[in-house]
């Protein structure tokens, strides 16, 4: 079932809370009526939810229309053409129909909401609507490939398909197609699609066909039964030219502009106009991206830490052991001096002895079940992704994959780490890693990445792709490089906030 009140993957109900439903309905009607509550506008109103479930959103708009009809006509009236609901769950639609009858009866009106048991994504609906409401189903392609494969056979599904996309993207795209000119779409979704790598078609459609009218970025889950989500309410108008729109971002209110929110690579940035202008300066004054200067690699994936990772040094395996660090061992500018763990570093070139094989034999079933072992890309006794051993021993910048703040360090020692650590190494001998380290630990980098990079809740997600895309000003002037290098060396020896202020000021002034 794909209703907005039922998760396909976990099969639990996720109801749209009344507060959220009222917010979405109030904003949609506000933008539609624009203060003109006339009989003509009421008669022309057409509203749909194309993933309606049992209808929390449609019932909220129905009740609001009862209030408006009383004000305009002097009595409660209901037009059965006003509201329609679509879903593939026939039982949910029946509940919606009955609930609408009960609600209308409360106002002394007979009737019910019109419902259609259709898969609205592939259904060729010739109707157009003034308002589309929705809390579409959230699930990705990873564990639902058959659903996406089937959709790709349809013209609409094929046109908007992107690998690793989320199913709810289709509902936004379909909703836009079903809107009349100047129609309003109001949805609640998760907020990651604003910058997701696999939502480029969705963002391009929004950019070319609509303008944002309203955004409320809750950045927390508003659903009791769906913890871990970062929800986002937004309203779009199917027209161009309405530049300014209202933003509530974690309770902070400001006005933003549609003409400024798309960054240099087409991702949507929620920020004030002033902040957006500053971010554009950073982008426009770049000389390079980090990916042009540095190799950016993820750490080791063992596929079975119980087999390869030890809490204590094992003399029997000394020739295979490497000190093994966790991401919490990385601080601003420096790493922990000693590791608390050790890893059996075994790649394709490693010749293993009987002692090691005897140890790994205890975990053989698990090791052989790894995808790479099944596909014969590795031997069963190897690390799943050992990476190139050179990156762990050469001079490098290391960073946490996920962190509340930007914390990057420099080390020249052997530093093997897991996949939640990223390794940044020179592409050219001329590159000064300490200058780049100063930038990565600066407030300018944090500001850029907080808005343009990958973020989950309050944490920066410092993955390879957004790091590679990050702009940097890398000067030709050796004096500028030496200035930051000197300050960074002082921070490595003894971190000082006054020195950090100098580093921050340099990059602020540069951009």
- Which tokens belong to 202? 């969705």
Say whether pLDDT at 1 is over 60.
Answer: no
- Average pLDDT of the chain, as a whole number: 93
Burial (CB count within 10 angstroms: exposed 0-12, middle 13-18, buried 19+), residue 284: exposed
Most confident of 7-21, 122-136, 446-460: 122-136
pLDDT at site 221: 87
Does the pLDDT at position 173 exceed 70?
A: yes
Would you say residue 16 has pLDDT above 90? no
In angstroms, rounded to a whole number, what is the distance separating the alpha carbons of residues 82 and 58?
10
Indicate whether 227 pLDDT > 80. Answer: no
Average pLDDT over residues 312-320: 94
357-389 pLDDT, tens per residue?
999 999 999 999 999 999 999 999 999 999 999
pLDDT band with cut points at 50, 70 and 90 for residue 12? very low
Percent residues over pLDDT 90 in the chain: 84
Q: What pLDDT does residue 265 have?
A: 86
Reported in sequence order, the residue ranges of 284-401 that DSSP labels E, i.e. its strands, are: 288-289, 294-298, 309-310, 321-325, 341-344, 396-400
At 4 the pLDDT is 40
Span 44-92, pLDDT tens digits: 999 999 999 999 999 999 999 999 999 999 999 999 999 999 999 999 9
First to last CA, the chain: 50
Angle at the Cα of 203 from the Cα atoms of 209 and 116, rounded to 5 degrees: 70
Tell me the CA distances in angstroms from 369 to 162, 302, 304, 364, 373, one per residue in order. 29, 13, 10, 8, 7
* Domains of the chain, earliest start first: 18-238 (3.40.50.150), 291-510 (3.90.220.10)
Q: How confident is the model at residue 14 (pLDDT cuts 50, 70, 90)?
A: low
Say if residues 131 and 183 touch (Cβ distance below 8 Å). yes
pLDDT per residue over 175-202, tens digit each? 999 999 999 999 999 998 998 889 999 9
Helix extents (H) in 221-328:
273-284, 290-293, 305-308
435 HSE (CA, 13 A, CB side): 20
223 pLDDT band, cuts 50/70/90, is confident
């Amino acid at each position: 079932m794909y209703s907005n009140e039922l998760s396909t993957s976990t099969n639990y109900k996720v109801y749209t809370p009344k507060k959220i439903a009222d917010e979405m309905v109030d904003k949609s009607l506000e933008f539609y009526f624009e203060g003109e509550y006339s009989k003509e506008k009421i008669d022309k109103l057409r509203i749909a939810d194309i993933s309606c479930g049992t209808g929390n959103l449609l019932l909220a708009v129905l009740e609001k229309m009862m209030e408006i009809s009383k004000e305009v006509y002097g009595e409660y009236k209901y037009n059965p053409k006003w509201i329609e609901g679509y879903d593939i769950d026939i039982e949910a639609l029946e509940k919606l129909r009955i609930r609408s009858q009960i609600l209308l009866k409360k106002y002394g009106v007979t009737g019910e909401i019109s419902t259609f048991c259709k898969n609205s994504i592939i259904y060729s609906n010739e109707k157009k609507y003034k308002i589309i409401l929705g809390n579409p189903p959230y699930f990705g392609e990873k564990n639902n490939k058959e659903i996406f494969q089937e959709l790709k056979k349809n013209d609409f599904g094929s046109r908007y398909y992107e690998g690793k996309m989320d199913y709810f993207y289709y509902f936004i795209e379909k909703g836009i197609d079903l809107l009349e000119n100047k129609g309003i779409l109001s949805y609640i979704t998760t907020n990651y699609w604003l910058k997701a790598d696999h939502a480029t078609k969705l963002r391009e459609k929004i950019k070319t066909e609509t303008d944002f009218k309203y955004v409320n970025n809750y950045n927390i889950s508003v659903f009791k039964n769906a913890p871990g989500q970062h929800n986002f309410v937004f309203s779009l108008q199917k027209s161009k030219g309405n530049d300014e729109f209202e933003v509530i971002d974690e309770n902070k209110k400001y006005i933003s502009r549609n003409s400024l929110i798309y960054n240099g690579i087409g991702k949507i940035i929620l920020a004030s106009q002033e902040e957006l202008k500053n971010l554009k300066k950073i982008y426009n004054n770049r000389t390079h991206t980090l990916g042009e200067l540095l190799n950016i690699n993820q750490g080791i994936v063992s596929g079975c830490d119980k087999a390869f990772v030890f809490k204590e040094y094992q003399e029997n395996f000394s020739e295979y052991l490497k000190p093994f660090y966790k991401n919490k061992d990385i601080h601003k500018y420096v790493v922990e001096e000693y590791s608390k763990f050790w890893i059996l570093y075994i790649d394709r070139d490693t010749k293993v002895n009987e002692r090691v094989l005897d140890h790994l034999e205890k975990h053989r079933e698990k090791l052989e079940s790894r995808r790479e072992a099944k596909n014969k890309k590795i031997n069963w006794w190897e690390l799943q992704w050992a990476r190139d051993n050179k990156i762990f021993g050469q001079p490098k910048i290391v960073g946490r994959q996920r962190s509340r703040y930007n914390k990057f360090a420099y080390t020249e020692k052997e530093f093997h780490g897991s996949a939640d650590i990223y390794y940044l190494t020179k592409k050219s001998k001329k590159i000064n890693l300490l200058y780049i380290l100063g930038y990565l630990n600066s407030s300018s980098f944090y500001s850029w990445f907080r808005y343009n990079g990958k973020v989950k809740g309050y944490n920066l997600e410092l993955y390879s792709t957004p790091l590679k895309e990050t702009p940097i000003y890398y000067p030709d002037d050796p004096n500028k490089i030496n200035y930051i290098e000197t300050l960074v060396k002082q921070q490595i020896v003894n971190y000082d906030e006054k020195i950090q202020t100098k580093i921050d000021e340099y990059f602020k002034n540069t951009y």
